[in-house]
A and B are shown apart, each in its own frame.
Chain A
Amino acid sequence: MRPAAKFGAAMFVAFVVLGVVGPWIAPYDPTHVELAQRFAPASWAHWLGTDSYGVDTLSQLLWGARSALEISCSVVAISAVIGLGLGTLAGWFGGWIDELVMRAVDVLMAFPGILLNIAIVATVRRPGLGVVIAALCANGWVSYARVARGQVLGLRERDYITAAVALGASNRRIMFHHLVPNLLGPVFVQMTLGFGAVISIEASLSFLGLGAQVDYTWGAMLAQGTAFLWKAGFAHYVIYPGAAIAWVMFAVNLFGDGLADRLDPRARARL
């Protein structure tokens, strides 16, 4: 793998580690309100200062990493399984199944960007983590289905699939043993990029006040930070959570590009 991709992978691993251990190493509870400490500057007690409620910023960032990790892992896993399943079925059986899946894909893709997610979350009064995850999965599976279907359409013409059909292998066997293992590579690249997409969409929803109303999220920190934008010396309330999101986005893009480069020549060599 190229050095840039390795660097991206290391950044991504750092995010995952901080997301897992973050709440344990966070110096304060993010619900710990200390009004006497409002807008405290960086100090030994509060490394990154405190916000308008006197909540420790570093602790919020660490708990935010946990939220981001929870949401992105759930959405990526659920979307990938649904998309991989539907895409494989559509590509292998063709006919009306293919029509149905691809028309659903068309309709979901007709909603630009985060509009569908906004519309779904907006129908719920106080969305929790589950609602946000469901809203992101509602159209998250589409890209995986497209990748999987495209791969299956290519694979189904290959000799070893023809051989499996000739030997009387069942559809289920062909899909699970011959198709799915061979399309995991591109799907994995898509999953890597999916992490970044989910975190950025979730942050946007939280920023718009439509995110999960449960825990601390980077997007909610940003939304709070932009409220102080006009006061001198308050830029760090935007920069800290912004840098956290940018960190993950940077990591997955470097890592995803490297993975795609690495998978591509091997795929070509196999043909």
Chain B
Amino acid sequence: MGSGALAIVGVSILTFAFLHVVPGDPIDHLAGGEATPETRAKLEACLGLDRTIPRQVVGFFGHIADGTLGHQCPDPEAKPTVAARIFAVLPHTLALALAGMILAALVALPLGVLAAVKRNTWVDTAITVGTLAGIAVPMMVLASLLVLVFSAELAWLPGPTELGFAALILPAVAVGAHLTAMLARMTRGAMLDVLGEDYVRTARAKGVPEWRVLFVHALRNALLPVITVAGLQFGSLLSGAIIVEKVFARPGVGTTLLDAIAERDYPVVQGTVLVIAVTYVLVNIAVDVAYGLVDPRIRVA
């Protein structure tokens, strides 16, 4: 928990520092080469760059504290605050990441159990090769091919720029494929460990049906390491969402970040990075706590 709080402070400091490690003048980037001195002065004041560094730090953390995360320059009055812009699209990204996670769990657990039960048969080999492919194929390629096959060719599912539940399926598959492969491999390994345990043999000996042995006695114990990895990988789903949102032209934190980078809108870039990183840290803390609840042997310090 303490290291989580420290990580959030560290992330904030690094995010603040970005604007100051820019080679050259950020105002030049923002205003272009031939900006008038008035425009430059206005931009500088808006970004707070006319103040001393300590006062900028205070301003930066002030914007975090008051929940605005700063203003969009050059005309802060006309546009919503950075926080408003980000939180308007954050639910889309969280829904995408969550859908990817659920999909990964639904597909990976049965596959992993099946591979473990049928170990060293062609079923196991096929699942192993499939999971390797899931790790090897880059997310943007998978996303593009999914659009091509299921949206452009077959027209089964809605494609880019659309929203709604059906439109969430393809992006969720793209975001979750890597995690699915990882979880399936982990489940297989954990199941193989557990299936050799005495209590599994005892359960079988006393005549418990095989499906009960597998899914109640074995899988429950094999799940713990899998849950940890799934939780820790939530961050990779968030950053994967950046890529998938681009392919599917979905609104979200990722597209907001990329737009802000293209527009050189530094407060929005800083705000987006901060929100994604803090979300990630909070999820990790939640996973730690949940892990302790699931397994009483582990207590969060």
Distance A241 CA – B144 CA, assembled complex (angstroms): 12
Is the Cβ of A107 less than 8 Å from the Cβ of B141?
Answer: no
* B261 close to chain A: CB less than 8 A: yes
Mark interface residues in A141-168 (1 if CB within 8 Å of B CB, else 0): 0000000000000000000000000000
For the complex of A and B, the 6 pairs showing the least CB-CB separation, nearest first, are A112-B235, A113-B239, A107-B10, A242-B141, A110-B7, A249-B136
Chain B, Cβ-Cβ closest to A226: B144
Give residues of chain A (236-250) contacting chain B, Cβ–Cβ below 8 Å: 238-239, 241-242, 245-247, 249-250
Give residues of chain A (54-71) contacting chain B, Cβ–Cβ below 8 Å: none
Distance A210 CA – B24 CA, assembled complex (angstroms): 18
* A254 close to chain B: CB less than 8 A: yes
Is the Cβ of A245 less than 8 Å from the Cβ of B238?
Answer: no
Is the Cβ of A208 less than 8 Å from the Cβ of B136?
Answer: no
Is the Cβ of B239 less than 8 Å from the Cβ of A230?
Answer: no
A226 neighbours in B (Cβ, 8 Å): 140, 144, 247
Q: List 14 A-B contacts (CB under 8 A).
A: A110-B10, A112-B235, A112-B239, A112-B277, A113-B235, A115-B242, A118-B257, A120-B18, A123-B18, A208-B243, A222-B140, A222-B141, A226-B140, A238-B145
Give residues of chain B (1-42) contacting chain A, Cβ–Cβ below 8 Å: 3, 6-8, 10-11, 14-15, 18-19, 21-24, 29
B156 to chain A, nearest CB (A): 16
* A225 close to chain B: CB less than 8 A: yes
B137 neighbours in A (Cβ, 8 Å): 242, 246, 249
Binds B, one of A81-89, A199-207, A261-269: A199-207
* B83 close to chain A: CB less than 8 A: no
Give residues in B with beta carbon < 8 Å to A. Answer: 3, 6-8, 10-11, 14-15, 18-19, 21-24, 29, 132-133, 135-141, 144-145, 147-148, 152, 234-236, 238-240, 242-243, 246-247, 257-258, 261-262, 269, 273, 276-277, 280-281
Q: Which of B10, B132, B239, B246 makes the CB contact (< 8 A) with A253?
A: B132
* A169 close to chain B: CB less than 8 A: no
Chain A, Cβ-Cβ closest to B238: A112
Distance A2 CA – B261 CA, assembled complex (angstroms): 46
* A32 close to chain B: CB less than 8 A: no
Q: Which of B243, B257, B280 makes the CB contact (< 8 A) with A112?
A: B280
Mark interface residues in A115-129 (1 if CB within 8 Å of B CB, else 0): 110111011110000
- Given known pairs A110-B280, A115-B276, the reply for A249 and B18 (CB within 8 Å) is no
B15 to chain A, nearest CB (A): 7
Interface of B is mostly: helix
Give residues in A with beta carbon < 8 Å to B. Answer: 103-104, 106-107, 109-116, 118-120, 122-125, 200, 203-204, 207-210, 222, 225-226, 229-230, 232, 235, 238-239, 241-242, 245-247, 249-250, 253-254
B144 neighbours in A (Cβ, 8 Å): 222, 225-226, 229, 238, 242
A204 neighbours in B (Cβ, 8 Å): 138-140, 243
B187 to chain A, nearest CB (A): 17
Is the Cβ of B141 less than 8 Å from the Cβ of A122?
Answer: no
Distance A135 CA – B243 CA, assembled complex (angstroms): 18
Is the Cβ of A111 less than 8 Å from the Cβ of B138?
Answer: no
- Given known pairs A124-B23, A207-B140, A222-B138, the reply for A119 and B15 (CB within 8 Å) is yes
Is the Cβ of A245 less than 8 Å from the Cβ of B141?
Answer: yes
Is the Cβ of B281 less than 8 Å from the Cβ of A125?
Answer: no
Given contacts A107-B6, A253-B136, 14 further A-B contacts (CB under 8 A): A107-B10, A110-B7, A112-B239, A112-B277, A114-B242, A119-B269, A122-B269, A123-B22, A208-B258, A222-B141, A226-B144, A239-B141, A246-B136, A246-B137
Is the Cβ of B145 less than 8 Å from the Cβ of A235?
Answer: yes
A118 neighbours in B (Cβ, 8 Å): 242, 257, 261, 273
A98 to chain B, nearest CB (A): 13
Is the Cβ of A208 less than 8 Å from the Cβ of B242?
Answer: yes
B234 neighbours in A (Cβ, 8 Å): 112
Distance A203 CA – B137 CA, assembled complex (angstroms): 12
Distance A254 CA – B131 CA, assembled complex (angstroms): 12
Distance A115 CA – B14 CA, assembled complex (angstroms): 12
